[in-house]
Structure 1
Amino acid sequence: MAHSHDTHHHAPGHGHTDGHTHGHGNHPDAETMATVLDLDATVNGHYLGEVCDRIAVLVPEPRTMLDLGSGTGTGTLALARRFGSSQVVALDNSAELLERVARAAQEAGLDGQVRTVTADLDSALPDHISDVDVAWASSTLHHFADAEALLRSTFRALRPGGVLAIVEIAEPPTFLPPDSADGEVEQRLREAILGKGWNGGWNGRPDWAPSITAADFEIVETRDIPTDLDNPPAAAADYAVEWLTRVRSGLTDDDASAEDLAAVDQLLHDDNPASLRRRNDLVVRSSRIAWIARRPENS
């Protein structure tokens, strides 16, 4: 169900969970980042289908689709699978990640639909891209140096009636039962990183709606997409370890009590009987927000 939004929606940044490897500060190496991206897709990938379904209502048979900041190709491959007659162009500034996208497309039998283009999207699309039906940006828009300029460039590249889909993480994931002692620790650490704008990574754009409309798009809907998994896939344990390792690395003694930090260290220590990889009570809670917009037919 679609909802309107007046509150701030924070988005993870700096390569922690998305595919844009921009040079703002330190990043995990490409292979580590790719692992996190793929785990996120395995655990939370239901959002891909939901957003694709909304796109299909507006553009049933898109011919050309763009993935802006394609990362490991989670969005690229989802679009190619959902829209079998489309050509999906994966755009990223990392040639290494684009090679991974190309391999994944080939392994999935989708290489005939997927094309990769190395591009710096900090303020504009490559000049030769035009007459596009759909532009997709999942957890990437907040990384670009001038996202508003990129949105204006995207507007020009879309055909009249073309669709823009922007997705961000609205609430960072949690993995432990909230009524457990470890779950309470996790909640306190979550509040700590949200409160400090951890590594600048939680202060992404709170609401893309003004930027979208300023670029002359009309917003069709804003949609909450929750993840609420009581029996998550096995990959949730690895995802939890990767995520909480990054959370832990961003916290100091000033941000959390010594007891809470020690508790997280125990969760991350595989030899501990209560470690994340040994538990059978993991639950995954998070949410994404999607803005679906279009270039007006008469523009």
Structure 2
Amino acid sequence: MTHPAPHGTHTAHEHVHVETDLAEILDLDAEVLAEHIAAVTASLPTETDPRHIVDLGCGTGAGTLALLRRFPNSRVTAVDSAPAHLDRLRDKAVADGVDERLRIVRADLDTPTLPDLGRPELVWASASMHHMSDPDRTLRQVRELLSPGGVFLMIELAAFPRFLPPAAPADSPGLEDRCHAAIDREHAATTSHRGADWTPKLTAAGFTIESENTRTLHVPAARNPAVTRYAHTTFTGLRTRIGRLLTPEDRTALDRLLDPESPQSLRNRDDLALRTRRTTWTTRAG
């Protein structure tokens, strides 16, 4: 999945920096939620391996690689607009020995015409649809792309993941929610469809919904140490991007969380956990 920066707000150097930070976050999300991704791919309603799969907004390849593992006889076309993400995906595919079954396409999906992606039997889109300026158009494009009777699986998250208990940190309770509220205001123009009601949109685009499943995911750092790295990378990005919008008190509290020498550092906390809610729609083209 790709989370583009707001248009016109970053220099070329800053854009590369944002892409790199996001690539780290996507890799950490995939590491922490590997079991969830594997469970979703395992539930796909396919009796045989699809010949061709398309991953729209593939990011650094969490879904792409899971699909290649799940369907060893399939070929996957992975599409994204961020070169840093695609480079990481290519390296991972080579390391996994699946690069011969992978086609990588760099393209902006938020356009009136999709690139030539063939006629896949399965299209996967994880946390990418809400970034489209006209998601209804994109859903219609996916419907036209699919082979008759093909499967479209879409995953969306209601909000950014959370890591701290609601009353934390002690010197600034609710800091995490205020940080995310600030970044939501900053990105309102480019992520206005996060949390949209996707069921009627899918139906209007011509899909038959076979299942809709919302899961609340909770992964304590005590169970998976990558949660702490995920939290630190996320809060570092928040400090860089919206620190100026916080009160001096909140900036100080955030800096303490990021300071490895501070007793309040994220790395010294025993209450960190990834908390997120994700909804999966499994649909079929009529």
Q: Shorter-chain TM-score: what band?
A: 0.7 to 0.9
Partner of 2:265: 275
The unaligned stretches of length 5 or more in structure 1 are 1-17
Measure the CA separation in 1 of the matches of 2:254 and 2:42: 38
- The answer to whether the 8 A contact 1:89-1:114 is kept is yes
Deviation at 1:237, TM superposition (A): 1.3
Partner of 1:193: 180
Measure the CA separation in 2 of the matches of 1:96 and 1:283: 28
Query: What does residue range 58-77 of structure 1 map to in structure 2 within 5 Å?
Result: 58=46, 60-77=48-65
TM-score, structure 1 length as denominator?
Answer: 0.81
Query: What does residue range 97-112 of structure 1 map to in structure 2 within 5 Å?
Result: 97-112=85-100
- The answer to whether the 8 A contact 2:182-2:242 is kept is no
Partner of 1:169: 157
Deviation at 1:71, TM superposition (A): 1.5
2:136 is aligned with what amino acid? E
- Pairwise CA RMSD of aligned residues? 2.6
Give the one of 39, 43, 62 matched to 2:28: 39
- The answer to whether the 8 A contact 1:176-1:281 is kept is yes
Partner of 1:224: 214
TM-score, structure 2 length as denominator?
Answer: 0.85
Deviation at 1:94, TM superposition (A): 2.8
Partner of 1:236: 227
Measure the CA separation in 2 of the matches of 1:204 and 1:78: 26
* SS of residue matched to 1:237: helix
- The answer to whether the 8 A contact 2:216-2:276 is kept is yes
Deviation at 1:23, TM superposition (A): 6.2
2:146 is aligned with what amino acid? L
Distance of aligned partners of 1:22 and 1:293 in 2 relative to their CA distance in 1, 3 Å threshold: farther
Distance of aligned partners of 1:282 and 1:221 in 2 relative to their CA distance in 1, 3 Å threshold: same
Measure the CA separation in 1 of the matches of 2:172 and 2:278: 23
- The answer to whether the 8 A contact 2:21-2:237 is kept is no
Moved over 6 A (4+): none
Measure the CA separation in 2 of the matches of 1:224 and 1:185: 31
Partner of 1:94: 82
Query: Which string of whole-angstrom CA distances, capped at 9 and with x for unpartnered residues, describes residues 225-276 of structure 1?
Result: 22212334111111101212233445468x7654343222211111112201
Give the one of 205, 212, 223 matched to 2:202: 212
- The answer to whether the 8 A contact 1:19-1:140 is kept is yes
Measure the CA separation in 2 of the matches of 1:281 and 1:196: 24
- The answer to whether the 8 A contact 2:219-2:227 is kept is no
Higher relative CO (Cα under 8 Å, sequence separation at least 6) belongs to: 1
Deviation at 1:35, TM superposition (A): 1.0
Measure the CA separation in 1 of the matches of 2:178 and 2:59: 28
Partner of 1:291: 281
Partner of 1:19: 2
The unaligned stretches of length 5 or more in structure 2 are none
Measure the CA separation in 1 of the matches of 2:120 and 2:137: 17
- The answer to whether the 8 A contact 2:212-2:281 is kept is yes
* SS of residue matched to 2:149: strand
Give the one of 124, 127, 135 matched to 1:139: 127
Query: Which string of whole-angstrom CA distances, capped at 9 and with x for unpartnered residues, describes residues 98-152 of structure 1?
Result: 232121101011112211112221133223x332111111111122233222221
